[in-house]
Chain A
Amino acid sequence: MRLKRLGATLFYALALPVVLIAVWFLATRSGTNGFTPEPVKLVQTFFQTWIGPAFLEDVVPSLTRLGLGLVGAIVVGILLGLVIGMSRFLRDLLEPLLEFFRAIPPPVLIPVLMLLMGIGDVMKVAVIVIGCMWPILLNTIDGVRATDPVLRETARSYGIGGLARVRYLILPAAAPRIMTGVRQSLSVGLILVVISEMFAAVSGLGYQIVVFQSTFKIPQMWSGIVLLGIIGLLLALVFQRVEHVVLRWYHGLREVENGGTR
């Protein structure tokens, strides 16, 4: 019985992808039109291109920039978000300003920051930090505001104040919203690192892909696209795992809350 269930899950998970790949394979059998690669050749090219020195020269720098930028965005976003969220004065003062900055499409930051910082790695990391911190910052502020008033009063009655209050009450209470913000910033970050490399760089994934495209090395270009897709996927998976652990209590709580109603 369990085997049957496992079989069904596998079927549903793989059926459509297999069908699509089969269609793709058959369609390209009769020769490509120059734009689409053949599946087998693509896999070969993928390994040729990216497993090897290119990995160190291009993939690692890109991922490093992304990593540094995201960490920076998370730290700055959460710290500022906590400070602003806990003070009604600061919130009222800064919210319209922050909403405006958030509305600026992140890629626009690239030419602007290029003016201020040149085209080095610092600029790229700064772009990611500034571009990614808005969802985190604004979500943290929201999360802090939404702290349950009964919990707040309980903490007060037991003399829990200052840093302890932030650690035991404010931060955990805001965690679900913060994680939503982090998830949004992940996709923004990946976009930004690739664009900034396409725009102005001498190394990196984005840069390489543009080189391939401009020199009409189509299979390599596609392999780069696939690699980007894989990175995006891995980021999402890693985030899911982390969220599962950090918000275990939250998922349990929501399950209990929703269990009775539906």
Chain B
Amino acid sequence: MTATVAAQENAAAALPSRARAPHRRRRSTALRWRRVLLGAAGIVGFLLLWEIASRTGLVNPQYLPPPTVVFGELFRQLTTATFWTAVRQTMTSWAVGLAIVAVSGTVLGFLIGLSRFLKRFTASTIEFLRPIPSVALVPLAVLVFGIKPESAILLIVYAGFWQMLIQVLYGVSDVDPVAESTARTYGLGRWARIRYVVWPSALPYIVTGLRLSATIALVLAITAELVIGVPGIGSQIVLAQNGARVPTVYALALATGVLGLLVNFALRLVETRLLSWHSSIRSEVV
């Protein structure tokens, strides 16, 4: 994406300035078409290989059914109520968990980030708790909530919170000191500074944090369903596996991929909309 543009710009830089602009325009549309076509070819090629491998028995078709069968099953699933119920269940846990993460992460991030004392005070605890894998809480979730969606939400909140918090902390401390000083000299009080200087400056990080947490939230929602049995797509996959409905397992796995793509796409959309005013879309601080 960006690197290709850089490569193009480099090629364009070798040109005399007069020819640069129109030349680049034509080359970039041609390049874009090529990229789209090749990408599609890649997907089609992969599906073809898979189909051949499965049909010719290269891979045991009982355990790896051909894509035609899998996609057939996937489309069939789309017509069933159980499928959509499962999707709804998964996405509800996802949404609730994400909302809690977003609010708590942002609020605590601001509180801690704006206070030098609190930052230092909590730094060691955050560094210690952060790398603890959320799956460690699975048994606890089972004990306390069983197969209720709260189990999933617990996992989501624990993992997503740290991601969000770190990003917000970065965002709050990344405020341009010049902007801050300017605001102060114009007599903006603390709250006004937060509203007009800190918040917009931290917004890109908040959105990035949201995007990262959203992906993690989906992974953990499905994990909770797979491992604990919370109702949702994950539990449907386990059911299919136990019932030896092999094509269904693959179909649902593909469905989760699509969900993942949609979540990512939706959040990138939010990112571009909210941050269209921001000249530099900051890179991820992970």
Chain A residues near B120 (CB-CB < 8 A): 12
Instruction: Select the stretch in B1-9, B182-190, B195-203 that faces chain A.
Output: B1-9
User: In the assembled complex, which residues on chain B have CB atoms less than 8 Å from the CB atom of A99?
Assistant: 261
Q: Which residues of B contact A16 (CB under 8 A)?
A: 121-122, 124-125
Q: Is the CB of B39 within 8 A of A96?
A: yes
For B143, what are the chain A residues with a Cβ–Cβ distance below 8 Å?
Answer: 35, 213, 218, 221
Indicate if B219 sits at the interface (CB-CB under 8 A): yes
C-alpha spacing A191/B226, complex, angstroms: 13
Interface residues of B in 114-151 (CB under 8 A from A): 120-125, 128-140, 142-144
A256 contacts B by Cβ under 8 Å: no
- Chain B min CB distance to A66 (Å): 11
- Say yes or no for A55: interface residue by CB 8 A criterion: no
Judge whether A83 is part of the interface by a CB distance below 8 angstroms.
Answer: no
Please indicate the chain B residues that have their CB under 8 angstroms from the CB of A57 in the complex.
none
* Per-residue interface assignment for chain A, residues 104 to 136, with 1 indicating a CB less than 8 Å from any chain B CB and 0 otherwise: 111111111011100000000000000000000
Stretch at the interface among B20-28, B41-49, B75-83, B274-282: B41-49
Query: Contacts of B219 on A, CB cut-off 8 Å?
Result: 105-107
Contact with B along A196-239 (1 / 0, CB 8 A): 00110000001001101100001001001100110011011000
Interface size class of A (residues with CB under 8 A): 35 or more
CA distance A228 to B137 in the complex (A): 10
Do A116 and B135 touch (CB < 8 A)? no
B250 interface hit (Cβ, 8 Å): yes
Q: Is A254 an interface residue (CB 8 A)?
A: no
Q: Which residues of A contact B237 (CB under 8 A)?
A: 108, 111
* A13 CA to B238 CA, complexed, in Å: 44
- The answer to whether A191 touches B10, judged by C-beta atoms less than 8 angstroms apart, is no
A149→B177 CA distance, assembly (Å): 33
**Minimum Cβ distance to chain B for residue A183 (Å):** 7
Residues of A within 8 A of B257 (CB): 100-101, 103-104, 108
A183 vs B286: C-alpha distance when bound (angstroms): 9
- Tell me the B234-258 residues at the A interface (CB within 8 Å): 234, 237-238, 241, 246, 249-250, 253-254, 256-258
Residues on the B chain within 8 Å of A14, using CB = 124
Minimum C-beta distance from B67 to chain A (A): 13
Q: Knowing A100-B257, A146-B6, A194-B133 touch, does A225 contact B43 (C-beta < 8 A)? A: no
Contact of B100 with A by CB under 8 A = no
Judge if A49 is at the interface, Cβ distance under 8 Å: no
* Contact for B223 among A105, A184, A187, A210, CB less than 8 A: A105
- Which residues on B sit within 8 Å (CB–CB) of A107? 219, 222-223, 226-227, 234
Q: Report which of B43, B123, B177 forms a contact with A96, defined as CB distance below 8 A.
A: B43
A93 on interface, CB distance cutoff 8 Å? yes
Q: Residue of B at shortest CB range from A230?
A: B132
Interface of A is mostly: helix
Number of A-B residue pairs having CB atoms within 8 Å of each other in the complex: 170
Q: What per-residue 1/0 map shows which CB atoms of B16-43 lie under 8 Å from chain A?
A: 0000000000000000001100111111
Contact of A13 among B35, B124, B264 (CB under 8 A): B124
Cβ-defined contact, B135 with A195, below 8 A: yes
CA of A67 to CA of B135 in the docked complex: distance in angstroms? 18
Complex contact A194–B135 (CB within 8 A): yes
Which of A96, A100, A184 meets B286, CB within 8 Å? A184
Specify which of B2, B4, B63, B218 is in contact with A116 (CB 8 Å cutoff).
Answer: B63
A262 interfacial by beta-carbon distance below 8 Å: yes
A105, B63: Cα distance in complex, Å = 20
The contact sample of 14 A-B pairs, CB cut-off 8 A, is A13-B123, A13-B124, A35-B140, A89-B38, A93-B45, A96-B42, A103-B258, A108-B222, A112-B253, A115-B249, A191-B135, A198-B227, A225-B139, A233-B131
6 smallest beta-carbon distances between A and B, as pairs = A103-B260, A145-B3, A213-B139, A92-B38, A228-B136, A229-B132
B residues near A, CB below 8 A?
2-4, 6-7, 10, 34-35, 38-43, 45-46, 59, 63-64, 120-125, 128-140, 142-144, 177, 218-219, 222-223, 226-227, 234, 237-238, 241, 246, 249-250, 253-254, 256-258, 260-261, 264, 286
